[in-house]
Chain A
Amino acid sequence: MKALILVGGFGTRLRPLTLSVPKPLVEFANKPMILHQIEALKAIGVTEVVLAINYQPEEMLNFLKEFEAKLGIKITCSQETEPLGTAGPIALARDKLIDGSGEPFFVLNSDVISEYPLKEMVEFHKSHGGEASIMVTKVDEPSKYGVVVMEESTGQVERFVEKPKLFVGNKINAGIYLLNPSVLHHIELRPTSIEKEVFPNIAAQKKLYAMVLPGFWMDIGQPKDYITGLRLYLDSLRKKSSPKLASGSHIIGNVLVDESAKIGEGCLIGPDVAIGPGCVVESGVRLSRCTIMRGVRIKNHACISSSIIGWHSTVGQWARVENMTILGEDVHVRDEIYSNGGVVLPHKEIKSSILKPEIVM
C-alpha cells in the first residue's frame, strides 16, 4: 500500500523552531513529527510513503535516507514547483501512488497527531465500498473549522460547510484520507482545494464516507496547539500503560524523559513534559507543560512552564520561563532572568527579562 503525506512548505507558524529545522523533522514527544505518521503507516503495511513538499532542504534528504534504512520502508519526495493547494499535490504524485493494483492509498496532513487507527479505517473503507474515506473528529468549536455534515449511521458525507455561522454539526476534517485510485480523475494538476472542490464532487456522487476518529486529535502546526497536543498524546500513552512514561518521586503526571537525559536532585517534573536526548536538568528545577528539545541544559533552581525550549539552548539558574515562551535553537537565558511569553529566534542570548510577550530577533 502507498501513502502521501502533505508536508507543504516553510512551516512559518512553527517559527522560530522551523528556522533551524524543517517542520516535519521538528520533534514532538521526542520523535520527529513525521516519524509518528510514517511509523503508523508502516505498522499497517504501507510499503512506500511519498512526501509532498514545496521546498527540499538538505536535512530532509539525509533524514529520508536514514529512516528508509532504519524502518525498512521506501520514502520518496514529490516536489511542487508552484503551490498546488491541498489537492494538487496528490495529482502531482499520481505516478508514485498508482501501481495498477487498484489498492486505495492514504493521504495524511503532516501537522496532525492522533491515534492513527488506520487498520480500522481500511476496514471501514472496504465495508462501505465508496470511492473515498475521510476521518473526522469531534470538536467543541466547529465554526473555527470546516464542518463535515454526514449521515450518522452510515457515515455517508452530505456536504462540507466552511466555518458555519449556525450549528450544522460538530465533526471536522481530521486531515486523514483513504482514497481509491479513481479519485485522481477528480483532481487536476493545478492549485486545487480538497475540501472546496474534490470532496464536494465525490460527496455529490454519494461516494464519500466519514469515520469518526476515536481518541485524541490535534493540529500541532503552531506552538500553542503543540503544547496542548503533547498533553493529549501523553494522556493516550498513559491510557495504554506505555512503559515509555517516566516514573519516580520527582515525576508528576505524564512525563517523557529520553534515556540519555540527566535529571538532578530535588526536581519536580510534570505534568505533560517531554525531555529530549542529551538534556541536562540540574538540581531544584521545576518543569511543567513544556518540551525540552535535544541538548538543552536547565540550570539549578530554574522554573519552566507552558513553553518550548529549542535545541542546545540553556536556561540559567533561578530563571523563570513561562506563558508560551518559545526559545529557538541555541538560545541562552541568563541566570535570574524572567521570560513571560518571549519568542526568541535562534542564536541569541537573553540578558534582560521579557516582561510581556515579545518577539526577540
Chain B
Amino acid sequence: ENKAIFDAESAKEVVKELRDSFVTGKTKSYRWRVTQLKAMLKMLDENEPQIVAALRDDLSKPEFESSLYEIQMLKNSCRLALKEMNHWMMPEKAKTSLTTFPSSAEIVSEPLGVVLVISAWNYPFLLSLDPVVGAISAGNAIVLKPSEMAPASSSLLAKLLADYLDSSCIKVVEGAVPETSALLEQKWDKILYTGNGRVARIVMAAAAKHLTPVVLELGGKSPVIVDSDINLKVATRRIIAGKWGCNNGQACISPDYIITTKDYATKLVDSFKCALERFYGKDPLESKDLSRIVNSNHFDRLSKLMDEEKVSSKIVHGGQRNEKYLQIAPTIFLDVPVNSLIMKEEIFGPLLPIITVDKVEQSFDLIHSSGGKPLAAYLFTNNKKLKRKFVETVSAGGLVVNDTAVHLAIHSLPFGGVGESGMGSYHGKFSFDAFSHKKAVLYRGFAGDAFLRYPPYTPGKLTLLQALLSGSIVGIIRALLGWFWA
C-alpha cells in the first residue's frame, strides 16, 4: 500500500484545517476540553496492554516502567487537569494603583491557537501526551509528531488518538525528517519540542521565521554528587532507580555521572555491585527489568564510549553486551579522564562513570567547568551546609537532594531546562500556562480624566503628573499646593 507523501502542501492543509476548527471556538469551550481529557483517560485505561506491547517492541521496556511512567503518570496529568482546569481558566485579578485610578485589571488566559508537539523516542507516550494534555487544557488545536525511532508507539498513538479524540482538532502526523521539516515550515502558535540540542536549534530557527514561541525540553549531563556520611544503601538504590530503572539510562534526567571523594569511591562501587546484583541478577542481560538500547546507531555510539582506550580499562563492573538484542548491561567506570568522550557528551545509556575528587566541595567546580547547564543535578548528603551550597551554586533545570528523578512527579514543580538543557517548562499548571497567552485587560472609567495629560505641556502639569505617577500622597499634595500657588 502506497503511503501518501507528507510534504509542505500536506502540512499546510493540516494547519489550515486545524485553524478553521480553532476559529469556530470549539476548542475554547470548557466542555470540549473536558471531553477530550476524559476520552484520553478512557483511551489509557482500555489500551494498557497494547501500549505496554508497543513499548516492548520499541524499547524492550519492562512492563513495570511502561505502566508506571508512561501510563500512570499520564493518567495523573489528565486527572489533575480535569480537577483544576476550571480554576486555571479563571481570569486572575490584578491590583491597580493610583496611576490608573479609577480602574480594574485582570489577566485573562486564552489559548494560543494551533500548536505543534514534537516528542522523543525514549518515553514515546509520556512525552507525546503529557504536552498534549497541557495543550488541550489550555484550549488549543494540536498536531502531534511522535518520534519515528519508536515506530510501534508512533503508529499506536496515531491510531488511538484518531479513535478516541476529536480529530478535527487533534491530529497525529507520523514521519521522520522530511515530514518534520514540512511541519516546521508552517506557522504555529507554539512549538513544544523534546529531544536533543542539535535538532532544537533547527526547531527554534524554523520558529523564528514565524516568531513562534517555543518550549525546548532537552538534556545534558546530569551529575550526582555523593557525600560520604549518608545511608549508602538507600542512596545506591535511588541512584540505580534513576539510572537503570529509567529506560536503562536513556532518560533526559537520568543520573549521567557520579562525583565522589577518593576515599569513598570503593565503598560506593561495592554498594552498587551488591544492589545491582540484587535487582538484576547475576547476568543482567537475562533480566526482564531492563530496557534495551533503542537501535543499533545508539548501540554503536555507546560501544564507542565504552571502548575508548583510556576508558575501557576503567570498568569496575558490568560491560557485558549483546549486539543482536541491542543489550548493554549496567556498567560502572571508576576515574575516567575528564576529557574522555564519555565525559564530554550526554551518555543516555547504562554507562555510569564515577569521577573522584579529594574533597566533596570540589565537585561544584567540576560541574561548572563541564560545559552547559544540565537538566537535573543530584546530591546525596546529610550535611546541611553542603545542601545549601548545592542549591545556591549549581544551576540546572531542577535539583534533587537525596534522590534522583522524582521531581518529575511533583506537579507543583515546573519541569524544564536552562541554557543548553532547554527553555520553558511544563507539568501541572505549568503545562496550562505553557500553552496559554496571558492577556492583560485594563478597564478604565471616564471619570477623573487627567487634563494634566494633554498638551499644551506645562511645567506645572509635569510636576503634578510626576507626583501622581510616583503614587506618593505627600508628593501629590505638594504638587497640588504648588499648582494653586503658582
Are A and B interaction partners? no
Instruction: Using CB atoms and an 8 Å cutoff, list the residues of chain B in contact with chain A.
Output: none
